[in-house]
Chains A and B, each alone.
Chain A
Amino acid sequence: AQSVAQPEDQVNVAEGNPLTVKCTYSVSGNPYLFWYVQYPNRGLQFLLKYITGDNLVKGSYGFEAEFNKSQTSFHLKKPSALVSDSALYFCAVRDPTSGTYKYIFGTGTRLKVLA
């Protein structure tokens, strides 16, 4: 069965420091992977996705993520965190071999960037 794990409920990082938000997945085939961010009272905003090709994917607001097939991970990273990056981050996976378009989401990680 498809699943996504975000092992950290919350990540705290000082402004200007690099940040990492972790995501691991389990699907039977080659996954499509996504990161979304949710600010208070807003919807899920798309950040980036991995479909195929280069394992390092760049997205909005300076975020990037690295697909690691051997570790079944897709960690979200940013070289220098901003206070405005504080939000709830969701990883999602879609298994293109499953015949389904639905996304499976992780439980979310709250990122707090401290000034």
Chain B
Amino acid sequence: EPEVTQTPSHQVTQMGQEVILRCVPISNHLYFYWYRQILGQKVEFLVSFYNNEISEKSEIFDDQFSVERPDGSNFTLKIRSTKLEDSAMYFCASSDGGAGTDTQYFGPGTRLTVL
């Protein structure tokens, strides 16, 4: 069964450093998403991406964040200058098309720890 994969599983970084979280969505999917979950809190939407551009972003997704689909398979989330409060589990998700009833399938997550 196709799965969303994410690397690395755990990333530790110093405050102010740049990090790139990587995701490989399910191969025939067209919509891509990032969510995050701060420890003990809700899973929160960050951004959605379709047709090589951001289709929606939340208030959390400020200028420090960016997303990219650098090739036909990867989808990345970059945090330019990490803050302590960026420590969270980051989930990538994908869905197959614009029917609107599509299910989002999630990856296993990347745990980001900012020291």
Chain B, residue nearest A105 (CB): B43
Inter-chain residue pair count (beta carbon < 8 A):
56
Interface residues on B, range: 20 to 34
Interface residues on A, range: 20 to 34
Q: Would you give the 0/1 interface string for B1-44, flagging 1 where the beta carbon is closer than 8 Å to chain A?
A: 00010100100000000000000000000010101000001111
Flag the segment in A17-25, A37-45, A65-73, A75-83 that touches B. Answer: A37-45
Asked if A102 and B43 sit within 8 Å, CB to CB, the answer is no
Residue in B56, B105, B108 whose beta carbon sits within 8 Å of that of A41 in the complex = B108
From residue 14 to 70 of chain A, which have CB atoms closer than 8 A to chain B?
32, 34, 36, 41-46, 49, 51
Q: Would you give the 0/1 interface string for B94-112, flagging 1 where the beta carbon is closer than 8 Å to chain A?
A: 0100001101111111000
Asked if B48 and A46 sit within 8 Å, CB to CB, the answer is no
The minimal Cβ–Cβ distance linking B29 to chain A, given in whole angstroms, is 12
Question: Known contacts A34-B103, A51-B101, A102-B33: does B109 contact A43 (CB below 8 Å)?
Answer: yes
> How many angstroms between the C-alpha atoms of A101 and B45 in the bound complex?
10
**Chain B residues in contact with chain A, CB under 8 A?**
4, 6, 9, 31, 33, 35, 41-45, 48, 55-56, 58, 91, 93, 95, 100-101, 103-109
